[in-house]
Amino acid sequence: MLRLLQFFCFLTGLLIFTAPLYVSAQSDSLQIKNKELLRKAYQLRDDQKVDESSKILTQLLLKEPTNMNYLYELAFNYCLKNEYDIAISKLTPVLENNNVTDQIFQLLGHIYDVKDQKNLAQQTFQKGLNKFPNSGPLYLESAMLPLATKNYDEALKYIEKGIEVDPSFPSNYFYAAKIYCNSDDKVWGLIYGEIFMNLERNTPRTLEISKLLYDTYQKSITFTTDSSCMVNFSDIGSYRITGRGDATRLKMSYGLNVYQPVISMSMIGIKKLDISSLCRIRSRFIQYYFSTGANKKYPVILFDYELAMWNNGLLDAYSYWLLQKGNEKEYLLWKEKNKDAYNSFMFWFTQNPLQLTKGHSFYRGQID
């Protein structure tokens, strides 16, 4: 149970303390002192001195009883000691407060989940979503319950809704990629996984998804002879959608009817799969996607971003970075031989991150 809560902390991160501005110098001084005490509480917890950390947090709450950050951190400390009932008693009284945060609902729902009180956990997450309908973390926590029972379709409903309402939150893309890359509609795993790596560029999860993307290409492309191959990024040809009056009609799937034909064109002349050949495939894909006009009917912000890199001569370097964990030896050899190209890419990549906002984002429901 402790491991689950530690994972939860890694997933959501610690809250950032933002103090209100006061006119008087005395109030400013007090806020500075409280910030220092909060940092000390964090450090004590990192040093496994949870009781001492909790004493400081309790003192801070006495000074600022409505500060949800202090309350969250104190309740989290109780969880680290497996004192879940005490944590619950601290969190439940503030759920109706005007200044309650979505993290409070996350932690409380997660505690119920750890205590195997699944219904209470789901109710808590839903109550949080009612109050914070644009909280990507709360949608992810809601997805963890069906995901634990391998109900992937139900989990994806929450995960993709989280991507829609909170497009800059990386973890929903992470889980969407893992689910879809192991499904019969892998194209969404490739897109979501690549977006995730752009949002979270330098963590163990980044490397995990890098390997997953490379392996998904390997699984989805099969060479039948020396001169031909089969691609299979989606087995879903069409599905029924309900319109007005409950009438149903067939809609052609994006994966099989749009993505797959374009990537098949990109495979011409390719006889093996490694990072180098995947760079060529991905470069051709972007050129064909835009030259055929697919981008107009099926716009994907990620592909616009790749086109910008292709126009700057950086797409191959980006693809090497993206797929590095699939063949580390090949990646490192290329990086050693192409230092200038790699450095140019990294400079551009740092200066031009993929920007995702509510009005500038991508989720499957936009085109499929």
Residue-by-residue pLDDT tens, the chain, 368 positions? 433 444 444 344 433 333 333 334 446 777 889 999 999 999 999 999 999 999 999 999 999 999 999 999 999 999 999 999 999 999 999 999 999 999 999 999 999 999 999 999 999 999 999 999 999 999 999 999 999 999 999 999 999 999 999 999 999 999 999 999 999 999 999 999 999 999 999 999 999 999 999 999 999 999 887 667 888 999 875 443 444 444 454 567 899 899 999 999 999 999 999 999 999 999 999 999 999 999 999 999 999 999 999 999 999 999 999 999 999 999 999 999 999 999 999 999 999 999 999 899 999 999 98
HSE, side-chain direction, 13 A CA sphere, residue 76: 29
- Judgement on whether residues 228 and 326 belong to the same structural domain of the protein: yes
Secondary structure of residue 186 in the 3-state scheme: coil
Check the CA dihedral 22-28-34-40 and report its sign: positive
Secondary structure of residue 49 in the 3-state scheme: coil
How many domains in the chain? 2
- Judgement on whether residues 7 and 152 belong to the same structural domain of the protein: yes
- Judgement on whether residues 156 and 282 belong to the same structural domain of the protein: no
C-alpha Rg value of the chain to the nearest Å: 24
In a domain, 77, yes or no: yes
- Judgement on whether residues 101 and 218 belong to the same structural domain of the protein: no
Structure tokens at 251: 């809609």
CA dist 56 and 37 (Å) reads 7
In this prediction, residue 21 carries a pLDDT of: 34
Report yes or no: 105 and 131 within 8 Å, Cβ to Cβ: yes
- Judgement on whether residues 220 and 332 belong to the same structural domain of the protein: yes
In a domain, 179, yes or no: no
Residue 152: CATH number of its domain:
1.25.40.10
- Judgement on whether residues 14 and 162 belong to the same structural domain of the protein: yes
Report yes or no: 217 and 193 within 8 Å, Cβ to Cβ: no
- Judgement on whether residues 224 and 360 belong to the same structural domain of the protein: yes
In a domain, 183, yes or no: no
Reference 312, options 274, 276, 286, 339; nearest CA is 286
- Judgement on whether residues 97 and 236 belong to the same structural domain of the protein: no
CA dist 318 and 349 (Å) reads 8
In a domain, 304, yes or no: yes
Q: Which of 166, 198, 223 is the C-terminal boundary of a domain?
A: 166
Structure tokens at 357: 């906002």
In this prediction, residue 9 carries a pLDDT of: 43
Q: What are phi and psi of 305, to 5 degrees?
A: -65, -40
Report yes or no: 323 and 278 within 8 Å, Cβ to Cβ: yes
- Judgement on whether residues 283 and 151 belong to the same structural domain of the protein: no
- Judgement on whether residues 21 and 80 belong to the same structural domain of the protein: yes
CA dist 20 and 81 (Å) reads 32
In a domain, 180, yes or no: no
Chain length of the chain: 368
- Judgement on whether residues 161 and 221 belong to the same structural domain of the protein: no
CA dist 71 and 55 (Å) reads 12
In this prediction, residue 189 carries a pLDDT of: 98
Q: Are strands 229-231 and 238-242 parallel, antiparallel or unpaired?
A: unpaired
Contacts of residue 314, Cβ cutoff 8 Å, sequence gap at least 6? 341, 344, 345, 348, 349
DSSP state of 301: H
In this prediction, residue 252 carries a pLDDT of: 76
Q: Quote the domain boundaries for residue 33.
A: 2-166
Reference 129, options 151, 99, 109; nearest CA is 109
- Judgement on whether residues 296 and 148 belong to the same structural domain of the protein: no
In this prediction, residue 15 carries a pLDDT of: 35
In this prediction, residue 183 carries a pLDDT of: 95
Report yes or no: 318 and 334 within 8 Å, Cβ to Cβ: no
In a domain, 192, yes or no: no
Check the CA dihedral 157-149-123-1 and report its sign: negative
In this prediction, residue 290 carries a pLDDT of: 98
What residue has token string 């991150």?
Answer: 353
Dihedral angle over CA of 121, 200, 167, 114, nearest 10? 0
In a domain, 328, yes or no: yes
In a domain, 361, yes or no: yes
Q: What are phi and psi of 223, to 5 degrees?
A: -90, 120
